[in-house]
Amino acid sequence: MSKDPTQHSRFFRFHLPHVHLNSVFGDDWFALKAEAFARFFGTPVFLIGQTIVVAVWIAANIIGLAGFDVYPFILLNLAFSLQAAYAAPLILLAQTRQADRDKAHAEADAQHREDIAKASDERQALAAHQTALLVEMLQQNTQLTETIKTLAERLEALTLEVHKKVLNETSELGK
């Protein structure tokens, strides 16, 4: 089932002023790669991959398969320091911009809820107005029905009176 694109755009109309906040680092190639890199740091794939690399690094250097970083693994510590030096600012920047996006979306959602409440109030006022009109029409209909009843009673009385006169005149002629 396909969604109506106009419905989608109407729903997000309050978010459009904040669309510039969607990309944390900007929209160019480097920015997209930096954001992807910052998002990758917290994934299980990264954590498992880093654990495997560190385990292989330590095992290779302890067993003697590689002698470039012997115990106390100073090169490994330098690699972790370098990684932390780049990761921390990227993650903090991503968190700051995410907080900005969250705030903007919360404001847009609040504006959307206010718009819905306003539309609901307008529909409620319209329903109350239409109900009042229906009550007024019902009262007018009742008055018209009573008027018709009165006229019908008067017509019946006049018909009976005319009928009596016609009978009286016919009986006087017959005498």
Alpha-carbon radius of gyration of the chain: 43
Tell me how far CA of residue 121 lies from CA of 7, 118, 128, in angstroms.
21, 5, 10
Total structural domains within the chain: 1
Would residue 86 count as lying in a domain? yes
Would residue 133 count as lying in a domain? no
Would residue 98 count as lying in a domain? yes
Would residue 106 count as lying in a domain? yes
- Output DSSP code: residue 150: H
Would residue 131 count as lying in a domain? no
* pLDDT given at position 101: 79
Residues in the chain predicted with pLDDT less than 70, given as ranges, are 1-27, 31-32, 174-175
Would residue 129 count as lying in a domain? no
* pLDDT given at position 16: 65
Residue-number span of the structural domain to which 28 is assigned: 5-123
* pLDDT given at position 173: 74
Would residue 163 count as lying in a domain? no
Would residue 169 count as lying in a domain? no
Total-model pTM: 0.47
* pLDDT given at position 1: 45
N residues, the chain? 175
* pLDDT given at position 69: 84
* pLDDT given at position 2: 47
